Structure 1
């Protein structure tokens, strides 16, 4: 059986935005937990980088950890700043864009 949580220290106070680095010209992801019910992933976006429009089988809860991200859901744009969150509903087309350098925590509940 695989560990429920991976790639992250346990029993330690963490600053999530320090757990993933920016890389020039890239979107970087780091999976923290993955099972049939939930997926927890950190992402960093260099300015101008994006995950193009797609839909998910679960509700996707995004929290901005650093910078500014542009979230598009059903063609409507939303701007997330540090500490702000949004839910991208299951089955709805959405995209994520680094308006500035941008780090986020993504929790998908299936």
Structure 2
């Protein structure tokens, strides 16, 4: 039997806080972790890295993301794939909903 996980309106799964940043895990498996973020306008996630490749997708709002030294303004619909260990940061220029996917390699089978 096949399984699937469905969110018909992913952005509706999180509220943007008046201040601060909120997060909500929406999926976890041995190959993928998906976390939904809500940023109040002006909030910032300072430079950091992830140990695994990651995909960030802007669902609502506008953000400035910095990848190493390159600053990019991203709007709803933007999608970015980041290599593991890429330094990056996020600033919410407007109230922001951001989906983050952390990708993990499949574990080797024990044949």
TM norm. shorter chain > 0.5: yes
RMSD of aligned Cα (Å): 1.9
Which 4+ stretches in 1 moved above 2 angstroms? 34-37
1:81 to 75, 80, 87: 75
Unaligned runs of 5+ in 1: none
Tell me how far 1:87 sits from its aligned partner: 1.6
Unaligned runs of 5+ in 2: 105-111
Kindly indicate which of the two structures has a greater share of residues assigned to strand: 1
Cα separation, 1, equivalents of 2:29 and 2:20? 26
Greater Rg by CA: 2
Tell me how far 1:35 sits from its aligned partner: 3.8
SS in 1 for 2:15: coil
1:44 to 24, 34, 38: 38
